[in-house]
Structure 1
Amino acid sequence: MSYIEMMVPPFPTLIMGGYAVFEKGTRHFRRTFTVFDLIYVKHGELFITEDDIPYTVGEGQYIILVPGFEHFGHKGCCVKTEYYWLHFSMPNHYDLVEDGIDNWADILLSEGDMETPSAYRFCLPCFGEIENMKFVENIFDNLMSISHQTPDYQLRQQLYFQEFLLHLQKEACKIPSAAERVVEETVKFIKDHYKEELKMEHLSNALHFHPDYITRCMQKIIGMTPNNYLNQYRMNEAKKLLAMTDEKVANISQEVGIMDATYFSKLFKRLEGLSPYEYRRIILRKK
């Protein structure tokens, strides 16, 4: 895989961005740009050839098309495909290299002083997969939703674009964000203590974060609150016990940390669409 190596600041400059939909059978255009063209697929997949190399860009993946290389769709979309696109230019020199950056500390080239800014080395993969799709798509949505009626809208779009590039570099180095670390600790605590009575104050005291902050991190990264995650995890564990043991539902309820068996059954049906008894009967029938 190739990487785009550049020095920042200054950051690449966003020219224009948009959101497009290709119906089934549509191919990407054939053209050669003088600027970079970044494509991120939200749903579906695009079949793009650049410099005689074919790529399949699927959901959650992106490709950065390089100036001077012809690119085109070598195959029509198999399904309806939605994607974001960003055109940007590089104010400084860049190189196409074969090796990226593995260590986050290696991005710093030189410390700044009172008159000189710090210098950094970025190596962005030309083709990759986004780990935190929700975070990235939120950046794109914010970038696209800025009103074009305000005279500073392009400046504000540039800030979101820089945040996106910084996130790409972090993911390439496998550096978790602060929110991701909070979610990782929260999920681990829930898995270790789901059999006990768990409240937000227990999480807050264990992780040393405010309950509202923990909740925001969970919703931002995995799209659910700590309580929703706890309930879902308990139901998943309960399904294993229902399928693999002859334990009574009341005992399974207590085993997964819910002392009220009636509440457990109602919660199970709300989340799974059928009662614990119905679930067990279906599983036994399949066996």
Structure 2
Amino acid sequence: MSYLEFNTPPFPTLITEGYAVFEKGTKHFRRVFSVFDLIYVKAGELYLTEDENRFTVTKGQYIILVPGFEHYGHKGSPVKTEYYWFHFLIPTEYDLVDNGLDNWGDIHVVQGDHVNPSLYKLRIPCYGEIEHNHFVENIFDNILGIDHQAPDYRLRQQLHFQEFLLHLQKEACKIPTAAEKVVELTVAYIQNHYKTEVKMDDISRSLHFHPDYITRCMQKITGITPNLYLNKFRMNQAKKLLATTNNKIANISIEVGIEDSTYFSKLFKRLEGMSPIEYRKVINRRQGRE
């Protein structure tokens, strides 16, 4: 296995991103990129060849395709396949090495002082499986879900992308913390139950942890409370429905677990900066449907 080794800061820079769906039988097209291409499969299977090395990327797995190497799909997907993709560059020198890091502490190579920053070395597998996939998919949804009308949206996306890279390095070092495990379970519970009423007591009983401990873990790992994560996840699901259906706002509100459509609209505007109707109009204009 190859590991992508680079020093940081600065962090790799996210360029563009997206979410794609391959119908059964579709193959990835042939190309050579001048930037890195990270692909994470949410459902299904991708068959990719890079520099004559063949890879099968299945649900929960990812691959980092390296600049200058030709890559293409050598076989059609056997089932409908959904995946996230991210193009990024590394502004410093990088290398492909044969061994990873065994100790999380080894990432810190130079201690900073009052005028010089600390220096870190990351060594990330170019191909692997995500253990905390709910946690990572939430990061990806946050990257894709940021309002593109906001002038700082690329900066905010970059912060999420950096969080993902650090998480990837932690998983490669095999050191998921207890707090990360609690967060993964909490996120999974919310994603499985968001269409119904979700209370902290319900999460607590399911996970067998005190509500305050669950909240502290969520704030430590994700920076937000379970309730805010629930609301943001519901809004992400609502945005998908607003963009892909003509359902009424009241019906979408119920579908994402909020009975009061007035409250839903207020919450949507508070979190997304525009009303659901305005969001649908923006998407329709962007997709040429108006």
Post-superposition offset of 1:180 = 3.0
Quote the Cα distance in structure 1 between the aligned partners of 2:66 and 2:110: 28
Partner of 2:51: 51
Partner of 1:172: 172
3-state SS of 2:20 partner: strand
Partner of 1:192: none
Gaps of 5+ in 2: 185-200, 227-290
Gaps of 5+ in 1: 185-199, 226-287
Partner of 1:128: 128
Structure-1-length-normalised TM-score: 0.66
- The CA RMSD over aligned residues, in Å, is 2.6
Instruction: Within 5 Å, give how 1:88-99 maps onto structure 2.
Output: 88-99=88-99
The answer to whether the aligner puts 1:81 opposite 2:73 as a matched pair is no
3-state SS of 1:175 partner: coil
Quote the Cα distance in structure 2 between the aligned partners of 1:61 and 1:85: 12
Post-superposition offset of 1:128 = 0.5
Confirm or deny: 8 A CA contact 2:2 2:125 kept in the other structure. Answer: yes
Instruction: Within 5 Å, give how 1:186-225 maps onto structure 2.
Output: 211-214=211-214
AA at the equivalent of 1:138 = N
Post-superposition offset of 1:182 = 5.0
The answer to whether the aligner puts 1:20 opposite 2:48 as a matched pair is no
Post-superposition offset of 1:211 = 2.3
Partner of 1:67: 67
> Structure 1 residues 174, 154: closer, same or farther in 2, change over 3 A?
same
**Corresponding residue pairs, total:** 202
3-state SS of 1:68 partner: coil
Post-superposition offset of 1:177 = 3.2
Partner of 1:141: 141
Structure-2-length-normalised TM-score: 0.65
Quote the Cα distance in structure 1 between the aligned partners of 2:45 and 2:137: 16
Post-superposition offset of 1:210 = 5.0
Quote the Cα distance in structure 2 between the aligned partners of 1:43 and 1:217: 28
> Structure 1 residues 48, 216: closer, same or farther in 2, change over 3 A?
farther
Quote the Cα distance in structure 2 between the aligned partners of 1:177 and 1:139: 18
Post-superposition offset of 1:213 = 3.0
Partner of 2:107: 107
Post-superposition offset of 1:179 = 1.8
Quote the Cα distance in structure 2 between the aligned partners of 1:211 and 1:45: 38
Instruction: Within 5 Å, give how 1:137-286 maps onto structure 2.
Output: 137-180=137-180, 211-214=211-214
Partner of 1:241: none
Flag the structure with larger Rg.
1
Partner of 1:36: 36
3-state SS of 1:100 partner: coil
* Residue deviations 1:237-284 (CA, integer Å, cap 9, x gap): xxxxxxxxxxxxxxxxxxxxxxxxxxxxxxxxxxxxxxxxxxxxxxxx
3-state SS of 1:137 partner: helix
> Structure 1 residues 97, 154: closer, same or farther in 2, change over 3 A?
same
Quote the Cα distance in structure 2 between the aligned partners of 1:154 and 1:183: 26
Identity of aligned residues (%): 69
Confirm or deny: 8 A CA contact 2:179 2:217 kept in the other structure. Answer: yes
Confirm or deny: 8 A CA contact 2:135 2:183 kept in the other structure. Answer: no
Moved over 6 A (4+): none
Post-superposition offset of 1:175 = 1.4
Instruction: Within 5 Å, give how 1:4-15 maps onto structure 2.
Output: 4-15=4-15
